[in-house]
Amino acid sequence: MVNTCAFVEAARQESIEAILDLAGRRRPGARLVVTGCLAERYGAELAAALPEVDRVAGFGEDLLAAPVALGPTRGAKVPAFDLLELPRPPASAPWAYLKVAEGCDRRCGFCAIPSFRGRQRSRRFEDLLAEVDALGAREVVLVAQDLASYGRDLGSPGAIIELVEAVAERVDRVRLLYLYPSQLTDELVEVIGATGCPYFDL
């Protein structure tokens, strides 16, 4: 299974190279499935251009509900699911990712995320804290395409600061992926510095 990226051209090319590499090295009877952002954005084109792939599955396709089969299974409709609200199991490592929001309201010329992830949708504050407690991890990595804008769509701009503080009270370390540069305020930097792990990705 190849989980692809369609963020920038270099990532798209790397994804295609990984698919072709695996297609050339797979054992007889093995199935090759392509999923992720590239599959979501270019599903039909990808399936047509890569006949060596057994299945191209975008975000709305549940691979467990529709098992992978050899042959032309592309384009089959299966039940959709919400990436943002997927149930997550307790952490099996000392760290865990926490999906805070999905999508992005920005329209950057270099990025295609809004075209296939849609507008930003933030999860409820209480749900996030309940998940932190259930994960049982010592380190939590907060994840969103535009993490600093967390809560804006819920009428709470700047809620990321409150969220980072609340998560930091529950775990040893908090990391942030990904912040848009213009939203990186002095207050947010100060809060990140107090988490036990002064780390963030722009």
CATH 3.40.50.12160 fits 1-81, yes or no: yes
DSSP β-bridge partners for residue 143: 99, 177
φ/ψ region of 69 (left if φ > 0, alpha if ψ in -120 to 50, else beta) reads beta
Decide if 139 contacts 174 (C-beta within 8 A). yes
- Pairing mode of beta strands 173-177, 200-201: parallel
At 53-73, the pLDDT tens digits run 998 987 655 554 444 443 444
Q: Which fold has domain 83-201?
A: Transcription Regulator spoIIAA (3.30.750)
94: tokens are 């000392």
Decide if 175 contacts 199 (C-beta within 8 A). yes
Taken as a whole, the chain contains a residue count of 202
Residue 81, pLDDT score: 52
Hey, which bits of the chain come out as E strands? Answer: 2-4, 33-36, 55-57, 95-99, 101-102, 121-122, 139-143, 173-177, 200-201
Instruction: Please determine, for residue 15, whether its predicted confidence score (pLDDT) is greater than 50.
Output: yes
Residue 76, pLDDT score: 38
Residue 82, pLDDT score: 62
137: tokens are 């991890």
Question: What residue segments make up the domains of the chain, in order of their start?
Answer: 1-81, 83-201
Number of H helices, E strands in the chain: 6, 9
At 134-145, the pLDDT tens digits run 999 999 999 998
Distance of CA 12 to the CA centre of its chain: 16
Would you say the pTM of this structure is higher than 0.75? no
User: Distance between CA 40 and CA 56 in Å, rounded?
Assistant: 8
Decide if 107 contacts 114 (C-beta within 8 A). yes
